[in-house]
């Protein structure tokens, strides 16, 4: 999120704070619910939870970093997509 601030015309510090605040709220919920949902959702569990997390963290970006819902959603999508991609890469290695 910090590196995308020029593209979305936001302050790097505010985007960083928004990323930390959003993650502090969503990641504990992700890990707490993933185990419970896996028996019914299987391999779709994490991707579906990530969709919810992108939406929730977009609120953090909107409140803290940007005045645009579109920019907030894109910031959240790119940041979480990168995080998810790195997680997949680590899992494969």
Q: What is the pLDDT of residue 55?
A: 96
Rounded Cα–Cα distance for residues 18 and 2 (Å)? 10
pLDDT surpasses 80 at 2: no
Q: How confident is the model at residue 36 (pLDDT cuts 50, 70, 90)?
A: very high
What tokens appear for 86 in the block? 């790195």
Q: Which of 75, 55, 56, 59 is nearest to 9 (CA)?
A: 75
**Mean pLDDT in residue range 15-41:** 93
pLDDT averaged over the chain?
90
pLDDT surpasses 80 at 90: yes
pTM: 0.84
Q: What is the pLDDT of residue 13?
A: 87
pLDDT surpasses 90 at 70: yes
């Amino acid at each position: 999120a910090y590196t995308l601030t020029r593209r979305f015309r936001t302050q790097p510090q505010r985007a960083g704070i928004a990323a930390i605040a959003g993650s502090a709220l969503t990641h504990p919920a992700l890990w707490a619910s993933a185990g419970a949902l896996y028996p019914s959702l299987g391999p779709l569990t994490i991707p579906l939870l990530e969709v919810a997390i992108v939406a929730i963290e977009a609120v953090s970006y909107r409140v803290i970093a940007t005045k645009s819902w579109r920019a907030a959603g894109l910031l959240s999508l790119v940041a979480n997509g990168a995080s998810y991609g790195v997680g997949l890469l680590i899992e494969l290695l």
